[in-house]
Amino acid sequence: MRRRSFLSVALVVCGLVPGIQEVSCQFWSRGAKDVEKGDAEGGSQKGVKGEGKPKSSSRDHPEVKLSNGNMMPLVGLGVGNLQHYMVPLMVAGAIQDDKKTRLFDTSHISDNEHLVAEGINQGIERVLGQDRIVTIHVVTKVWYTYLGYERTKISIRESFESLKEAMDNPRVDVKVHILLHWPRCYENISWMSCSEDETRMPDHVRSAGPPPHEDKDNAWKGSWKALEEAYLSDEYSIESIGVANFHLKDMKEIKESATVQPHILQINVWSLLYDPLLMDYCHKHGVHVQVYNVLNGILTDPERAPNAYHHLQKIASDFSEENIEEITPAQVVLAWLVQHGVSIVPRTSRLSRLQENSALALSSVPALSDSQVELVAHSVEAFLSGDDLEEDIHVKVTFHATTKDTFLYWNRHDGGEVRVAFIKQGESFNEMTYPNHSFRLYDARNKDHFIEYRVAAKFGEHEHVHAEL
Ligand SMILES: NC(=O)c1ccc[n+]([C@@H]2O[C@H](COP(=O)([O-])OP(=O)(O)OC[C@H]3O[C@@H](n4cnc5c(N)ncnc54)[C@H](OP(=O)(O)O)[C@@H]3O)[C@@H](O)[C@H]2O)c1
């Protein structure tokens, strides 16, 4: 297997390189000591709302103990960038039939927290056991235009108002986690438009505090103070506070001035692989890491790194043999993170994928071996970099033209077909292919006469096909 840049970064920081602090290597080498198969739904240290309520049972969804002692599910559903009409549907769908997905990730800027609340209430109605109190976690975030002490207070207040419908539901114990979405607005990020965004802010926000983009180094510090105060106050019941998209430098600055250290850092999966110093910092200071962008560009685009995709498929098919339920490549990647104590918030707009991405389904993925862990990391990295793994894996199929001269065609996904070989009667042809690819074998003298064949063998196997046309 080709060594990739992530490994070289890790090797530099793992080794005794002068001038560079020694840190642990890959995030997975640190284990996941704080991951628990949840039995503590509702068992928080600080949240007051759930106290005295009966606890619901939940033994089949993994959770993490945050540095404040509160438990948080490792598997959530991201709805931050879902179309609004879908939000209640997907949130309710994730809760109902008890797929054990108990966390929803959104943000103030998404303007859908009220729809999350609506979805929670709808989903709860359909959860089995009407007498149960169900604990649901909502991670929401303060957008960069709300940075600064007073503006952040507005954002927090509005988020709570939007979630009120679910918080007032006696059957739900809503645990709210609030993060700063970005440390600042960046001019060099193409979709951020710092000055223009400011002009679009409502009057009550503009008048509350100065434009944060004019004080980029400090605005978030005022926000952090507002978050700390809200967390420590009796006014709100906030389960944890944290940050998203913060760099190591920002994390160190919080450490110097904060009374409450961030409990959570939400980041792009890219940072998990390529920023070992940040990961090491989180590990050493008990900051829980939650990642986004885990499926986007990876499972959504197998053609970007087909060899890497085949390796993920192989791990999935190996697991499927051991498991009652079929395991998919997406589940392999998600489980790779969850099994190492990293929490995930995959987004989907398809009800059919809620089950696949659910806490319940991911809990049933067998533990990845060390070599599988490395392979998944290499494969994810291949997708992120666009630089595919060098080695591919195949199924070998030998086609025997037993009765007639035969044309062999490979069926494309779009319905078209690609000619692969002409095989004379009595001869054979070897093809390297993949599980489930389908072929068509034609009688060379009569193209109306053909047979379909779909590869049943698994990666690494050799299959023989005797074409009796
Ligand atoms: N903190 C931040 O700055 C930040 C930034 C971005 C996102 N987020 C959060 O993270 C959440 C996730 O968003 P993301 O942008 O990171 O996207 P993602 O979850 O990495 O990928 C979503 C894509 O994966 C597809 N998908 C979902 N399940 C799949 C499966 N089992 N197999 C194959 N494909 C699958 C979805 O397609 P279908 O819809 O067709 O299923 C969709 O196209 C957001 O909703 C948001 O809450 C946070």
- pLDDT tens digits for range 286-307: 999 999 999 997 889 999 999 9
Give dist(CA 99, CA 74) in Å, integer.
14
Q: Is the dihedral of CA 181, 184, 186, 191 positive or negative?
A: positive
The confidence score (pLDDT) of residue 57 equals 35
Give dist(CA 343, CA 35) in Å, integer.
10
CA of 117 to the centre of ligand 1 (A): 20
Q: Domains of the chain by range and CATH?
A: 28-385 (3.20.20.100), 395-467 (2.60.40.780)
Give dist(CA 64, CA 70) in Å, integer.
8
DSSP conformation letters of 420-467: EEEE-TT-EEEEEE-TT-EEEEEETTEEEEEEEEE--SPTT-EEEEEE
- Tell me which residue has its CA closest to atom 4 in ligand 1: 292
Ordered strands of the 172-180 beta sheet: 77-78, 103-105, 134-142, 172-180, 238-244, 264-268, 288-292, 343-344
Q: What share of the chain is helix, strand, coil (3-state, %, to 5)?
A: 35, 20, 40
The confidence score (pLDDT) of residue 10 equals 36
The confidence score (pLDDT) of residue 291 equals 97
Of the residues 106, 348, 350, which should be mutated to test ligand 1's pocket, given the most ligand atoms within 8 Å of the CB? 348
CA of 113 to the centre of ligand 1 (A): 17
The 10s digit of each residue's pLDDT in 126-172 is 886 667 889 999 999 999 999 999 999 999 999 999 999 999 999 99
H-helix or E-strand spanning residue 94: helix 87-95
Which structure tokens are listed for 240?
């944890």
CB atoms within 10 A of CB 232: 14
pTM score? 0.85
CA of 14 to the centre of ligand 1 (A): 31
DSSP conformational letter for 139 = E
Query: What lines the ligand 1 site, CB under 6 Å?
Result: 78-81, 105-106, 181, 244-245, 266, 292-296, 299-300, 330, 345-350, 353, 356-357
Which structure tokens are listed for 137?
């976690």
Q: What are the residues whose beta carbons fall under 8 Å from the beta carbon of 350, sequence distance 6 or more? A: none
Gap between the terminal Cα atoms of the chain: 42
The confidence score (pLDDT) of residue 28 equals 58
Give dist(CA 148, CA 221) in Å, integer.
7
The confidence score (pLDDT) of residue 437 equals 86
The confidence score (pLDDT) of residue 127 equals 80
3-state secondary structure of 48: coil
Give dist(CA 431, CA 305) in Å, integer.
21
The confidence score (pLDDT) of residue 321 equals 76
Count, residues in the chain: 469
256 and 280 Cβ atoms separated by less than 8 Å: no
Query: Which ligand 1 atom minimizes the distance to the CA of 80?
Result: 47
DSSP conformation letters of 183-244: SS--TTSTT--HHHHHHTS-HHHHTTS--GGGSTTTHHHHHHHHHHHHHHSSS--EEEEEEE
The confidence score (pLDDT) of residue 37 equals 59
Residues of the chain with pLDDT under 50: 1-25, 33, 39-58
CA of 295 to the centre of ligand 1 (A): 6
CA of 347 to the centre of ligand 1 (A): 4
Give dist(CA 54, CA 254) in Å, integer.
37
